[in-house]
Chain A
Amino acid sequence: MIIWLAIIVGTVTCYLFKLAGLSIPERLLDNPRIRRIAALLPVALLAALTAIQTVATGSRLVIDARLAGVAAGAVALLLRAPFLVVVAVAAGTAALIRLL
């Protein structure tokens, strides 16, 4: 039930953002401060999500195979690997470490 609630609220609101963008006059969004928030918000959210998914388990910080996997994924990113390769390298590295 909690999952469906998150899906419905998230989905409806995301759609309303898309629709609002097509409907409101451009000058409402043409504010330097709003533009800066729009540019920085995804950066902050993605960085926080990356950090949490790498070392948090519930409410604890845990260093495990995930960290090595993400580090390997970062190296793949630096080598300009495509998205799926980055994800596969990260997963493969973590899986390998758990096997050892």
Chain B
Amino acid sequence: MSPERRREILRNAAGIGVAVGAYALSFGALSVAAGLTPLQTMVLSLVMFTGGSQFALVLVLGQGGSWPAAAGSAIMLGSRNLFYGPRVAELLDRPRGWRRLLTAQVTIDETTAMALGQEERAAARLAFWATAVSAYSLWNLGTLVGALGAALLPDPKALGLDAAAPAAFLALLAPRLRGREPWLVALAAAAVALALVPVVPAGVPVIVAALAAVAAGLRGKPVDP
């Protein structure tokens, strides 16, 4: 790997860290606005360390959802990390023992994408770990600042934080809406979820909508909300 390539990887990893840190600011603030303590919020970022799942968990709880609904939403979103494992294991020469335990903790969207984007194996390894370090440190720093900042606010609603939450989900969703099928699934899931809101406990509509939309998508029939 050339020194230029090395520098470029480190620069990109730092850039991803900054973006992740900004995202973490909003997570920390929204989590506290949803009713979690700064400690609970930090445990999520330090240990769960997978952004979409963390957002889902705190926002389902914030809507008054039960713990199985909150954990279930987080688990379903987190299941995508399972699919990154085989490629990451191969690029990192199948880590064993404590190395595998550590690698698992940082196998997320950003690290996997950076590692898969490299042509050489040594570059992939550097990209994975440099992104892991920058994303993990800035994700937790951002969460801490956001959580402590929001804990000082008298009324999160006055700042429009309750509108920031769905906007954050929309920003995560937008890059996945390429093509007709994801659009249909997204619209069906939204419609099913809204239709269920008045009739089932909080948190459940999200899970049912997701399962229904995926089942419909799997059968390849037109998705009908």
Say whether A associates with B: yes
Binding site for B on A (CB under 8 A): 2-7, 9-11, 13-15, 17-26, 29, 33, 35-61, 65-66, 68-70, 73-74, 77, 82-84, 86-96, 98
B214 contacts A41, C-beta separation under 8 Å: yes
Binding site for A on B (CB under 8 A): 19, 22-23, 25-26, 35-36, 40, 43-44, 47-48, 50, 52-53, 55-57, 59-61, 63-64, 66-68, 70-71, 73-90, 95, 100-101, 103-105, 107-108, 157-174, 176-177, 181-182, 185-194, 197-199, 201-202, 205-206, 209-211, 213-214, 217-218
Residues of A within 8 A of B95 (CB): 22
Cα(A91)–Cα(B163), bound, Å: 5
Which of B36, B79, B80, B181 gathers most chain A CB within 10 Å?
Answer: B79
Q: A26-B86, A47-B173 are in contact. List 5 more A-B contacts (CB 8 A).
A: A3-B40, A44-B209, A49-B73, A56-B205, A69-B167
> From B194, which residue of chain A is reached at the shortest CB distance?
A51
Residues of A within 8 A of B78 (CB): 10, 13-14, 17-18
Residues of A within 8 A of B74 (CB): 6, 10, 13-14
Cα(A61)–Cα(B60), bound, Å: 15
Q: Which of B47, B163, B193, B198 contacts A69 (CB 8 A)?
A: B163
Cα(A88)–Cα(B53), bound, Å: 21
> From A76, which residue of chain B is reached at the shortest CB distance?
B167
Cα(A80)–Cα(B70), bound, Å: 30
Can you identify 10 A-B contacts, CB atoms within 8 angstroms? A18-B107, A19-B104, A29-B82, A29-B86, A44-B185, A51-B193, A54-B166, A84-B25, A90-B163, A90-B166
Q: A10-B75, A53-B59, A91-B159 are in contact. Are A22 and B89 (CB under 8 A)?
A: yes
A65 contacts B56, C-beta separation under 8 Å: no
> From B50, which residue of chain A is reached at the shortest CB distance?
A14
Q: How far is the CB of A28 from chain B (nearest CB, A)?
A: 8
B71 contacts A10, C-beta separation under 8 Å: yes
Q: Which of A7, A40, A88 contacts B40 (CB 8 A)?
A: A7
Q: A9-B67, A17-B82, A21-B86 are in contact. Are A47 and B187 (CB under 8 A)?
A: yes
Residues of A within 8 A of B53 (CB): 10, 14
> From B211, which residue of chain A is reached at the shortest CB distance?
A44
